[in-house]
Amino acid sequence: MKFKNGLLVIAAAAVIGVSSVAKAKNVRVGVVLPYTGGAAQFGQQIDRGMSLYLSLHGDQLGGHQIELIKRDSKRPGGDIAKTAVQELITREKVDLLTGFVFSPNAMASAPLVTQGKVPMVIMNAGTAWIPNLSPYIARVSFTMWQAGVPMGEYAKNTLNCTSAASGYTDYPPGKDSVAAFKFGFEGAGGKVVDAIPMGGPREVPDFTPFFQRVKDAKPDCFYVFVPAGNHASAVVKTFSDLDMAGAGIRLIGPGDITQDTKLQGMGDSAVGMVTVHHYSADYETPENQTFVAAWKAAYGADTTPDFMGVAGYDGMAAIVQVIRELDGNISADATMDILKGWKFDSPRGPIMIDPETRDIVQDQHVHEVVKSGGRLKIKVLSSISQVKDPCKANQLGKCASN
Ligand code: PHB
């Protein structure tokens, strides 16, 4: 690590490839992730996913080299990431950009990506309309609507909840997630009786007053979006401390609140939670079992990938494909042509980048937290095949402008 122009710079970490190939190109990829602070656990997941893909498949670069130029976005606010992207484009002259855990960081960087004509592969940030902000953005992670809408439908149709409250971290993906839940739940005939903003993404708030308000309202279901991590652990703890299950309320949400890396620490009060998501390390497919075994071999038997790790892995697969197909000569338009319609057999299942929206198409699964063999586990209750982003499919709000 060194300091450069007042910015924390983590030096290029990976140069992989066969340097003796005659016309080998050095492709420079700017990686913008939180490497320090409370969200560093997310940066580490994605970074590990990217590195794992390169260590297993770096020989697929067509003889070229990939250089990862890493910058620490630190916080969700947008400003630090934007400065980093500016520097990566103008001074480091990167060919591609990737990373981006928090939606505001991707949103603030979008105009720079358009002006600089540098393609951006988003590995997390989930607000549905982000790809509409630039023709040079493609997303390999998820959209808040892909989980929110099916969760709303399942809550009404299968969990038999007729009323629900929602609580959300008060920034774009939180607002997006509860809008998606409402769309699915009310579309199926339920009624959302309250939607409660519960602090910001940077600090974990005391959830007690918000959860008490829900307990007093006594809805059948309580849908919660928080940006995973320590927020998710606190959600489950508060729900348990207030004995909301005892009051007949069901805790549901997108899989961010049952993140694999946090699940074991949540304790038995997580048992019975139902979430909808596109990944769990517990999936029993051969592709996922191979991936999880490789992860544990690389990073330790007590580690696990989660939905952020798999996005780092898949995003790097997309970048490697671009480098190989373009023979190392990266241009923004040619990159987007390859990413549009890109298909991959991910550990999460088959994925594709929708050529129309440049957003991910993937299966969604209803997850239940169960206890088995002394550990908490994700059991898949049902699945929906190849879900396109419902916000863009229905041309809703800011999703309509594509
Ligand atoms: C986001 O900021 O878009 C975000 C962050 C963490 C999540 C989901 C979405 O778990």
Is 133 in the same domain as 194?
no
The whole-angstrom separation of Cα 255 and Cα 151 is: 10
75 and 137 in a common domain: yes
* Nearest residue (CA) to ligand 1, atom 3: 125
| Whether residues 329 and 376 fall in one domain | no
- Tell me: do 175 and 266 sit in the same domain: yes
Whether 126 lines ligand 1, by a CB cut-off of 6 Å, is: yes
Write the CB contacts of 266 (distance below 8 Å, at least 6 apart in sequence): 232, 233, 236, 237, 258, 369, 376
* Ligand 1 near 127 CB (within 6 A): yes
Q: Tokens 């990939």 map to which residue?
A: 66
Residue among 73, 123, 66 nearest 95 (CA): 66
Domains identified in the chain, total number: 2
Give me ligand 1 centre to Cα 102, in Å: 5
Rounded to the nearest angstrom, the distance between the alpha carbon of 42 and the centre of ligand 1 is 10
Q: Of the residues 42, 101, 263, which should be mutated to test ligand 1's pocket, given the most ligand atoms within 8 Å of the CB?
A: 101
Nearest CA to ligand 1 atom 2: 102
Report the nearest atom of ligand 1 relative to the CA of 76. Answer: 2
Q: Is 236 in the pocket of ligand 1 (CB under 6 A)?
A: no
Q: Are both 69 and 165 inside the same structural domain? A: no
CA 373 / ligand 1 centre spacing (Å): 31
233 and 133 in one domain?
no
Cβ contacts of residue 6 below 8 Å, gap of 6+? none
311 and 374, same structural domain?
Answer: no
Model pTM score: 0.94
Are both 101 and 230 inside the same structural domain? no
CATH at 65 = 3.40.50.2300
Whole-number pLDDT of residue 23: 87
**Ligand 1 neighbourhood includes 102 CB (under 6 angstroms):** yes
Q: Measured from the CA of 228, which atom of ligand 1 is nearest?
A: 10
Q: Do 154 and 269 fall into the same domain? A: yes
Residue 18 alpha carbon to ligand 1 centre in Å:
36
pLDDT at site 22: 54
Residue nearest to atom 6 of ligand 1 (CA): 227
Give yes or no: residues 265 and 328 share one domain: no
If asked whether residues 199 and 261 sit together in one domain, one would say: yes
pLDDT for the residue 323: 98
Q: Is the CB of 173 under 6 A from ligand 1?
A: yes
Residue 227, ligand 1, Cβ within 6 A:
yes
Cα 354 from Cα 377, distance rounded (Å): 31
Whole domain around residue 291: which residue ranges?
Answer: 2-142+284-358
User: In angstroms, what is the span from residue 103 Cα to ligand 1's centroid?
Assistant: 6
Helix, strand, coil percentages for the chain (3-state, nearest 5): 40, 25, 35
pLDDT tens by residue, the chain, 402 residues? 333 433 333 333 344 444 444 589 999 999 999 999 999 999 999 999 999 999 999 899 999 999 999 999 999 999 999 999 999 999 999 999 999 999 999 999 999 999 999 999 999 999 999 999 999 999 999 999 999 999 999 999 999 999 999 999 999 999 999 999 999 999 999 999 999 999 999 999 999 999 999 999 999 999 999 999 999 999 999 999 999 999 999 999 999 999 999 999 999 999 999 999 999 999 999 999 999 999 999 999 999 999 999 999 999 999 999 999 999 999 999 999 999 999 999 999 999 999 999 999 999 999 999 999 999 999 999 999 999 999 999 999 999 975
The position carrying tokens 């990373």 is 99
Ligand 1 center–CA 126 separation, angstroms: 6
Coil, strand, or helix at residue 137? strand
Token digits of residue 368:
């239940």
**What pLDDT sits at residue 8?**
32
Report the pLDDT value the prediction gives residue 9, as an integer from 0 to 100.
31
Q: What residue's CA is closest to ligand 1, atom 7?
A: 227
Let me know: does 358 contact 160? Beta carbons within 8 Å: no
Pair 161, 194 in one domain: yes
Q: What residues does 73 pair with on adjacent strands?
A: none
